[in-house]
């Protein structure tokens, strides 16, 4: 996080995440599903700059930017060039700013710029992390006596999106956790110790819509006569992973990865299943889709092994014409202290 007192601007890294485990329960009355997931932040991030101050009505918005009044006295100006087709009121960064203004009663214009580095539709939580960064930034710009405490900030984050509370902790200064078990729709966060791990991330060209992935999972279960995991037994499915995390055993963590949404996501993006098999063929300690996809990650034993894994995977993909991948990157889990 970098603060400019003159311009009242704050810049945050909004980190990505991967799901080491994702168990999905039955659909709820509110349309969500209860989940039990273990998430860890990854050193891949968007850059979110937030400023608060008088709105200059004579300034024309830049391409990819927009502005809207929330209450007649405050205005949110949002610039996200990477997502020009996404309406501003559907961008979680905008939603977070509007919610914060309402919660705190702040009457100040807000300027937000989101420099996207986390691919959209990858299941790595880029939009939720951007929202968390906006909340943290605005809270940091308030006088200390008016700022929200962390419990209120996490509660506000819950109203914005399922993963936003997790990212509040990851993006905070200093970070509140290196990893977490998240339950409910993701809003019940319990910090867990997670060893540093090296990952290789592969991003198919086809994104996956989160809502459609959950709906397809429900359809698949119904067609097969399968019952969703009962909430009370979620912990049984992650017992082995929990023990591996506590022991810092990266190889065992790799063996314990799972994601209930994989089969559903593969029906929209077959590359997910192919990439997962390729990761194992290339020697990954474990591989899984993250979130609702479409990104797939493999765990390596060291930085050198991760670089080798990425190189082998890239050559293998190039030899198969039906698999199209936007990018392959090597990244470490965890976060740097937010000081960009």
CATH number at residue 99: 3.30.230.10
More confident residue, 321 or 275: 275
- Closest C-alpha to 324, from 267, 270, 266, 268: 270
CATH number of the structural domain spanning residue 246: 3.30.70.890
Instruction: Check whether residue 154 and residue 256 sit in a common domain.
Output: no
Q: What is the DSSP letter of 59?
A: P
Q: List C-alpha distances in Å: 14 to 62, 70, 307.
A: 22, 24, 24
Residue 36 within a domain: yes
Last residue of a domain, one of 173, 191, 209: 191
Residue 338 within a domain: no
CA 336 – CA 338 distance, rounded (Å): 6
Q: How many CB atoms lie within 10 A of CB 158?
A: 18
Instruction: Check whether residue 179 and residue 104 sit in a common domain.
Output: yes
Residue 337 within a domain: no
pLDDT digits (tens, 9 = 90+) for 262-297: 999 999 999 999 999 999 999 999 999 999 999 999
DSSP-derived 3-state class of residue 208: coil
Instruction: Check whether residue 137 and residue 16 sit in a common domain.
Output: yes
pLDDT of residue 58: 35
Residue 276 within a domain: yes
Instruction: Check whether residue 22 and residue 127 sit in a common domain.
Output: yes
**Does position 31 have pLDDT exceeding 70, yes or no?**
yes
* Helix H or strand E encompassing 182: strand 180-183
pTM of the model: 0.90
Instruction: Check whether residue 265 and residue 123 sit in a common domain.
Output: no
Residue 80 within a domain: yes
Catalytic residue check, 163: yes
State the SS3 of 215-237: HHHHHHHHHHCCCCCCHHHHHHH
pLDDT of residue 144: 86
Instruction: Check whether residue 187 and residue 221 sit in a common domain.
Output: no
Instruction: Check whether residue 159 and residue 14 sit in a common domain.
Output: yes
Task: Determine the average pLDDT of the residues in 54-73.
Answer: 46
Last residue of a domain, one of 165, 191, 217: 191
**Residue that has been written with the tokens 């791990």 in this structure:** 197
Task: Determine the average pLDDT of the residues in 184-202.
Answer: 95
Residue 266 within a domain: yes
For the chain, give the longest Cα–Cα distance. 62
Kindly report the average pLDDT of the chain as a whole number: 90
First to last CA, the chain: 5
**Does position 231 have pLDDT exceeding 60, yes or no?**
no
Instruction: Check whether residue 269 and residue 162 sit in a common domain.
Output: no
Task: Determine the average pLDDT of the residues in 38-57.
Answer: 83
Which residue segment(s) compose the domain that 36 sits in? 2-191
**Does position 61 have pLDDT exceeding 80, yes or no?**
no
Catalytic residue check, 224: no
Q: What angle do CA 185, 191, 120 make, to 5 degrees?
A: 50
Looking at the DSSP bridge assignments, the partners of residue 14 are: 46
More confident residue, 103 or 5: 103
Instruction: Check whether residue 153 and residue 36 sit in a common domain.
Output: yes
Instruction: Check whether residue 104 and residue 163 sit in a common domain.
Output: yes
**Residue that has been written with the tokens 């100040």 in this structure:** 108
Which range, of 75-79, 105-109, 265-269, averages the lowest pLDDT? Answer: 105-109
Which of 5-14, 68-77, 130-139 has the highest mean predicted lDDT (pLDDT)? 130-139
Task: Determine the average pLDDT of the residues in 187-198.
Answer: 95
Which range, of 48-52, 141-145, 163-167, 242-246, averages the lowest pLDDT? Answer: 141-145
**Does position 233 have pLDDT exceeding 90, yes or no?**
no
Last residue of a domain, one of 191, 215, 242: 191
Q: Single out the catalytic residue among 17, 116, 178, 276.
A: 17
Residue 296 within a domain: yes
Q: What is the DSSP letter of 82?
A: T
Q: Single out the catalytic residue among 46, 109, 163, 260.
A: 163
- Closest C-alpha to 177, from 3, 9, 7, 333: 333
CA 239 – CA 13 distance, rounded (Å): 32
**Does position 180 have pLDDT exceeding 50, yes or no?**
yes
CA 282 – CA 309 distance, rounded (Å): 6
**Does position 66 have pLDDT exceeding 80, yes or no?**
no
Alpha-carbon Rg for the chain, nearest whole angstrom, is 20
Instruction: Check whether residue 163 and residue 137 sit in a common domain.
Output: yes
Instruction: Check whether residue 227 and residue 160 sit in a common domain.
Output: no
Residue 300 within a domain: yes
**Does position 175 have pLDDT exceeding 90, yes or no?**
yes
- Please state the domain count of the chain: 2
Orientation angle between helical segments 92-104 and 150-158, nearest 10 degrees? 130
């Amino acid at each position: 996080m970098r603060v400019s007192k003159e311009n009242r601007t704050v810049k945050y890294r909004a980190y990505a995440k991967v799901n080491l485990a994702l168990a999905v329960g039955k659909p709820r009355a509110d349309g969500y599903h209860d989940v039990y997931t273990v998430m860890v932040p990854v050193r891949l991030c968007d850059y979110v700059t937030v400023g608060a101050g008088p709105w200059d009505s004579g300034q024309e918005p830049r391409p990819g930017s927009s502005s809207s009044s929330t209450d007649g006295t405050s205005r949110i100006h949002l610039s996200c060039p990477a997502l020009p087709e996404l309406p501003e009121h559907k961008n979680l960064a905008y939603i977070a700013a509007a919610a914060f203004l309402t919660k705190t009663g702040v009457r100040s214009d807000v300027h937000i710029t989101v420099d996207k580095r986390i691919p959209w539709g990858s299941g790595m939580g880029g939009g939720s992390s951007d929202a968390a960064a906006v909340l943290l930034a605005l809270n940091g710009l308030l006088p200390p006596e008016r700022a929200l405490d962390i419990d209120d900030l996490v509660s506000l984050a819950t109203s914005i999106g399922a993963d936003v509370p997790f990212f509040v902790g990851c993006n905070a200064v200093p970070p509140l956790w290196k990893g977490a078990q998240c339950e409910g729709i993701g809003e019940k966060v319990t910090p867990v110790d997670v060893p540093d791990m090296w990952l290789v991330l592969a991003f198919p060209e086809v994104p996956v819509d989160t809502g459609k992935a959950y709906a397809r999972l429900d359809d698949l279960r119904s067609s097969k006569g399968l019952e969703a995991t009962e909430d009370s037994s979620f912990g049984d499915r992650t017992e082995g992973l929990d023990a591996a995390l506590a022991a810092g055993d990266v190889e065992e963590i790799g063996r314990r990865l799972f994601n209930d949404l994989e089969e559903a996501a593969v029906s929209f993006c077959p590359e997910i299943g192919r990439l997962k098999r390729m990761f194992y063929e290339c020697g990954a300690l474990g591989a899984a889709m993250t979130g609702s996809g479409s990104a797939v990650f493999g765990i390596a034993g060291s930085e050198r092994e991760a670089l080798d894994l990425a190189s082998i995977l890239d050559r293998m993909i190039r030899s198969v014409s039906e698999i199209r991948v936007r990018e392959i990157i090597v990244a470490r889990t965890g976060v740097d202290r937010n000081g960009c």
